[in-house]
Amino acid sequence: MSGSEFPSLADKTMLEEGGVFAPKFDKDGLIVCFAIEARTREPLMVAYMNAEALRLTLETGVAHYWSRSRKALWRKGDTSGQTQKLIEMRVDCDQDALLLMVEPQGDGGACHTGRKSCFYRAVEGGALAFRQT
């Protein structure tokens, strides 16, 4: 079923220069998504969508993902309150990655650790240093 709700394009020029949304799902039926805060461009999180999550996201304007660990559809924020209102969705050149520009609801955060962003650590000399987000 993966991707069956969306068209598929084999032609590279159409895929890259065309106006048809033809997201490429991987062999597990997933597409990687990068969510950033629309207003500030702060990187928030990486997650994955299957075709159903993508359809629901576009239909409802609220981000839905596929949890690879729980193997379940997941409307982000259902338990945390940190739903993500979709402001704009972009797709990359070869249509195998999505960028979600969102407005985080609830406390404005995205990370289950309680931080605003999942990217709160920098790699420094092989170790990790904490950063404010």
Q: Cβ of residue 105: shortest distance to a copy of itself, in angstroms?
A: 20
Judged by CB under 8 A, the residue of 61, 93, 106, 107 near a copy of itself is 93
Supply the DSSP string of 70-87, one letter for each residue.
TTEEEETTTTTS--EEEE
Residue 14 makes contact with a copy of itself by CB under 8 A = no
Residue 72 makes contact with a copy of itself by CB under 8 A = no
Q: Which residues, including other chains, have CB under 8 Å from residue 32's CB and lie 6 or more apart?
A: 46, 48, 96, 97, 98
Which helix (H) or strand (E) element contains residue 8? none
Residue 74 makes contact with a copy of itself by CB under 8 A = no
Residue 112 makes contact with a copy of itself by CB under 8 A = yes
Among 32, 34, 30, 31, CA closest to 117: 34
Q: How far apart are CA 17 and CA 15, in angstroms?
A: 6
Q: Cβ of residue 83: shortest distance to a copy of itself, in angstroms?
A: 19
Residue 122 makes contact with a copy of itself by CB under 8 A = yes
**Biggest alpha carbon–alpha carbon distance for the chain:** 45
DSSP 29: S
Residue 129 makes contact with a copy of itself by CB under 8 A = yes
Residues that bind a copy of itself (CB under 8 A): 16-21, 32, 34, 36, 40-43, 45-46, 58, 88-93, 96-97, 99, 111-113, 115, 118-123, 126-131
